[in-house]
Copies of this chain bind each other. A is one copy, B any other.
Amino acid sequence: MSKQISKRAEAVLPNLTHLSTKLYPKNYSQFFQSAKGCIVTDVDGKSYIDYMCSFGPIILGHRHEKVERAADLQRVKFGDCLPGPSERMVELAEILVGLHSEWASWAMFQKNGSDATTLCVRLARLHTQKRVVLRAPNSYHGASHIWMGGRGVLPEEQAHQLYYNFNDLKSVRVAASKAGNDLACIVVSAFRWDFFHDLELPTHEFISGLRNICDETGAVLILDDVRSCMRLSVHGSWHVLAPGVHPDLVAYCKGIANGYPLSAVLGRNYLRGASQKVPSTGSFWCNAVPMAAAIATIEAIISEDAISRMEKSGIKLREGLQLQAVKCSLLITCSGPVQMPLLTFEADRREKPEGAGPKLEDWPRISLWCSVCAKNGVWFHPFHNNFLSAAHTPDIIDQTLMVTEKAFLAVKEVFGSDTYAAL
């Protein structure tokens, strides 16, 4: 079945986006049939415990009952793509602003995470009438909008972007001073999530420092919480990563509606004028079903204590992996928030200069490890952070750890253990 579909796809679908298994090692499935909770099933009927959650959107588990019920009700009784917004848009904006009442006063909705980050930059430039955007060099803020760069983008189109290093306040000050009186905004991701790099949480000092620089210069502080949306806190990632510090704009997407297409920008009152003037629209941006789904998702995250359950399972997984690695005398790093974890092998890193990749063959241990997991029905990503959902129960973690044990043993058998001399 899968071979047949892949062959047909090869003819008419040259680019399977970020869901292409060309980006994975061996043993991963390309085409999927169905999903429920944290179990996903490919077109051949092979099932996986899914640690990617469709790259983030699935935060409560696939086909979460309350979310599906709310979406169905909106669709069947009311409607989705109406001639104007529905009351759901108002309710959702009220809920989101309410969860961020310490600083935010309004909301706007879009479809893609990159629509949201782009809108933030545009609002900042429109409000400040300044041009320079400060960002970290390899930080992913989306792929489809041109200012983000990449193939097919002209250097001119990335004008007035200056770079700082994540968690390095001095580098921000240098870049800000280079921008002089032309600094429009600082864009920062919730944590450092560059590919092929251990995940790095921001220090409170770093975030406070960004806040101070923005307060001093009048630049707009933009938190890209697209990927981490609702997974660390329903009040935004800084609620736990930098308590008491708030951005001027936040971009949300991914888990906001448990898989229904939606993104959002929340902003401070002083940016309300710009938000009314900026051209910001798309054919499906007011569709009501994703908003009904988002309302139900946020309610369920809160009422079902989803975040602390993800954290508990995430800690159990991390501790299990660390123990297994120790038993195999393999040095690993588990980085990131436990509900968005990444595993790397220190020997992979040691044998490669910093910044290597994105070529999987340069990271042979994690490739083999992931490949063995996939073969045995556990789906991990080799170089992008993974995602837990609220459907990842302790039992599921136990089942997972039975598979990861085999994967560590395979790595040990092929590459040998780490010795103290290697340190």
Where the two chains meet, the residues of A that have a C-beta atom closer than 8 Å to any C-beta of B are 5, 8-9, 11-19, 21, 29-36, 40, 42-43, 48, 50, 52, 54-58, 62-63, 68, 75, 77-87, 89-90, 93-94, 97, 105-108, 110-115, 118-119, 121-123, 125-126, 131, 142-147, 150-154, 156-157, 159-160, 253-254, 259-261, 272, 274-287, 379
The list of the 7 closest CB pairs from A to B, nearest first, reads A81-B259, A122-B152, A156-B159, A126-B152, A261-B284, A17-B281, A32-B82
Complex CA gap A77/B41 in Å reads 12
Q: How far is the CB of A26 from chain B (nearest CB, A)?
A: 15
In the bound complex, what is the Cα–Cα distance between A370 and B355 (angstroms)? Answer: 60
Known contacts A52-B83, A154-B125, A284-B57: A12-B105 contact under CB 8 Å: yes
CA distance A297 to B70 in the complex (A): 24
Which single member of B54, B75, B112, B145 contacts A146 (CB below 8 Å)? B145
Contacts of A57 in B (CB 8 A): 81, 283-284
Complex contact B58–A122 (CB within 8 A) = no
Query: What number of copies of this chain does the assembly contain?
Result: 2
B126 touches A151 (CB 8 A): yes
Q: How far is the CA of A153 from the CA of B184 in the complex (A)?
A: 12
Residues of B within 8 A of A48 (CB): 83
Known: A8-B94, A13-B106, A283-B254. A58 touches B81 (CB 8 A): yes
Taking a contact as CB atoms under 8 Å apart, the answer to whether B84 and A19 are in contact is: yes
Q: Which residues of B contact A126 (CB under 8 A)?
A: 151-152
Chain B residue at minimal CB-CB distance from A111: B111
Residues of B close to A121: CB separation below 8 A: 152
Given known pairs A17-B285, A151-B277, A281-B143, the reply for A32 and B261 (CB within 8 Å) is: no
Is A284 in contact with B105, judged by CB distance below 8 angstroms? no
Least CB distance from A271 to B in Å reads: 9
User: Do A42 and B84 touch (CB < 8 A)?
Assistant: yes
By the criterion CB–CB under 8 Å, are B272 and A84 in contact? no
CA distance A378 to B396 in the complex (A): 55
Residues of B near A280 (CB, < 8 A) are 15, 17, 143-144
Residue in B36, B82, B114 whose CB lies within 8 Å of A282: B114
**A56-B283, A63-B79, A80-B260 given. 13 additional CB < 8 A pairs?**
A5-B87, A11-B94, A12-B94, A14-B276, A17-B286, A34-B79, A57-B81, A62-B79, A80-B259, A110-B144, A123-B152, A146-B147, A156-B159
Contact A86 B144 (CB under 8 A): no
Q: Which of A81, A156, A259, A260: most chain B CB closer than 10 A?
A: A81
Q: Which residue of B lies closest to A277 (CB)?
A: B151
* 5 A-B pairs (CB sep. < 8 Å): A9-B85, A40-B79, A111-B112, A126-B151, A146-B157
Given A107-B12, A154-B131, A86–B33 Cβ distance below 8 Å? yes
- By beta carbon, the residue of chain B nearest A18 is B281
Query: Of B75, B131, B143, B260, which is within 8 A of A279 by CB?
Result: B143
Docked pose: A142 CA to B160 CA in angstroms: 23
Question: How far, in whole Å, are A79 and B122 apart by their CA atoms in the complex?
Answer: 35
Contact B145 A43 (CB under 8 A): no
Q: CB-CB < 8 A to A145: which residues of B? A: 118, 144-146
Point out the residues of chain B lying under 8 angstroms from A156, CB to CB: 156-157, 159-160
Q: Which residues of B contact A86 (CB under 8 A)?
A: 31-33, 43
Query: A79: shortest Cβ distance to chain B, in Å?
Result: 4
